[in-house]
Structure 1
Amino acid sequence: MKPHVFVYPDKGTVAQAGAQRTLLAVAEDLNERDAHGRRIRERVNVILTGGSDSILSLKLMANNPLVDSIDWKRVHFWWGDERFVPADSDDRNSLQARRALLDDLVAKGDLPETNIHEMAPDTRSADAIASASDAENDAALDSAARAYEEELVQELGESPIFDLAVMGMGPDGHYASLFPGHHEITITDRLAVGVNHSPKMPPLRVSLTAPLLAQARRTWFLTAGEGKANALAHVLEKPNNVDYPSSFANGTEEYHWIVTEDALPEPDDKA
């Protein structure tokens, strides 16, 4: 699908737009009816990720009046990727999302804890983590990835489809934990994979794969800052470019980039 680009003046406005759009999309999906007045879907599955733009958007959602109008018992949250670190580490994407929004919804009784589908943390001792070999790390990562695959299939079937994926992109063009120069972007026979030696700290991660992410009904990228303009230019220019993994993203119904002015590629005067 051809991406649509929406431009806002600054990072805060991008996050606010992402928050408003997310709440509206979830509310509309939950309330959509067919010609006979029957619900189109009983639940909505949302992919979250880390990154400052996405977490800021979650914080803004927490204070948005629309948040109280949503039946959160029918909303399930998943992660596009996770840092494979101990459960209490501040690096955890899921912990950041909980602090920004999810824990408050759970505390109010609006969101069941069982609707939060976290990737497994690293349960090894600090000494075991420090002394682990590459092979041991690979085995631990693969175990965590396979456990998430099993949960995906159990909840959503053999070919999971998400209703909304809210993603971010790094200055190098990576999304989730699919990085340029790493083979995980080319994997097509898995739903989730372990990522060792990530170029961005921390080095151990688990990520959903590109084919699974591309099947989301709606995919939105929240992207702010001039440091991302070069990558975005390449992503918008050519799909499925392994040098800029975000170019593998897609949406079956919507594919949007919600960006700041300085993140936008320079216009081509010849166009």
Structure 2
Amino acid sequence: MPKVISKNESQLVAEAAAAEIIRLQNESIAATGAFHVAVSGGSLVSALRKGLVNNSETKFPKWKIFFSDERLVKLDDADSNYGLLKKDLLDHIPKDQQPQVFTVKESLLNDSDAVSKDYQEQIVKNVPLNGQGVPVFDLILLGCGPDGHTCSLFPGHALLKEETKFVATIEDSPKPPPRRITITFPVLKAAKAIAFVAEGAGKAPVLKQIFEEPEPTLPSAIVNKVATGPVFWFVSDSAVEGVNLSKI
């Protein structure tokens, strides 16, 4: 079962998430000399800034950051997850303390399959692989949309059944922009740890579905069920009000 950590203020949610991230960071650096992380966009990024930027224990130069999904737009576009990460996190880190960040190649943006193939190659070359050749991230940081989507894996979409590609193309995202790439369930299953950040009363209806459905169909709920490593949910009290779950 996932571990749900609930706090009544956004700063406290960020600090709770940061404490777990630092623990995983230190374990990973001790084992391999690096911390391999995949991140999504959205409000998750501001939570990382609040909890990690002024934290003396954060070792950003040891981080290798990838994106769990990315929109196929220029890196400085308002829809770019990299652009959001830069504005809300990277620009707040001293230049000599920057993590290594792996982005999509702008030169390939007109060819969706070429982008996804290149990004999968970047991941395979730079992230440790398990015995089945699947990349193993030390931590995948995720958000949860009001429809229960995570990464760019949407309810009922064919990509939920993708088992061979580690990074796949989506041309028909129900949420704009339509053209994206996303990591797939084989990568999510293999991760050493997964952490969701979900805040606000607007998330309560979907979290009720995620945690109370006996047979999960929403992508975020499927992550809870199939992940082989621990899954953490860092949430605000309002996001889980009326939701039947055990909280820490």
Bigger Rg over Cα: 1
**In the alignment, which residue of structure 2 is the partner of 1:25?**
24
Is residue 111 from structure 1 mapped to residue 98 from structure 2 by the alignment?
yes
Going from structure 1 to structure 2, the CA distance change for 1:268 and 1:22 (only over 3 Å counts) comes to closer
Deviation by residue 1:101-135 (Cα, 9 ceiling, x = unmatched): 33554712x336xx2111334766xxxxxxxxxxx
CA distance in 2, matches of 1:268, 1:248: 18
**1:10 touches 1:224 (CA, 8 Å); kept in 2?**
no
Q: Which amino acid aligns with 1:80?
A: S
TM-score scaled to structure 2, two decimals? 0.85
Going from structure 1 to structure 2, the CA distance change for 1:185 and 1:14 (only over 3 Å counts) comes to same
CA distance in 1, matches of 2:171, 2:202: 25
Deviation by residue 1:36-95 (Cα, 9 ceiling, x = unmatched): xxxx2222201111011x11122212122323xx2x443211111011111211221112
CA distance in 2, matches of 1:170, 1:30: 31
Deviation by residue 1:224-254 (Cα, 9 ceiling, x = unmatched): 1222222222222358733x11122154332
Is residue 145 from structure 1 mapped to residue 135 from structure 2 by the alignment?
no
- For 1:60-209, list aligned pairs within 5 A: 60=50, 61-67=52-58, 70=59, 72-103=60-91, 105=93, 107-108=95-96, 110-111=97-98, 115-121=100-106, 140-156=111-127, 157=129, 158-209=133-184
SS of alignment partner, residue 197 of structure 2: strand
Going from structure 1 to structure 2, the CA distance change for 1:66 and 1:169 (only over 3 Å counts) comes to same
Root mean square deviation, CA, Å: 2.4
**1:3 touches 1:236 (CA, 8 Å); kept in 2?**
no
| Runs of 5+ unmatched residues, structure 2 | none
SS of alignment partner, residue 236 of structure 1: helix
Is residue 247 from structure 1 mapped to residue 246 from structure 2 by the alignment?
no
Deviation by residue 1:213-234 (Cα, 9 ceiling, x = unmatched): 1211111110112222222222
Corresponding pairs, count? 238
Deviation by residue 1:249-270 (Cα, 9 ceiling, x = unmatched): 154332111111222162559x
**2:143 touches 2:151 (CA, 8 Å); kept in 1?**
yes
State the identity as a percent: 30
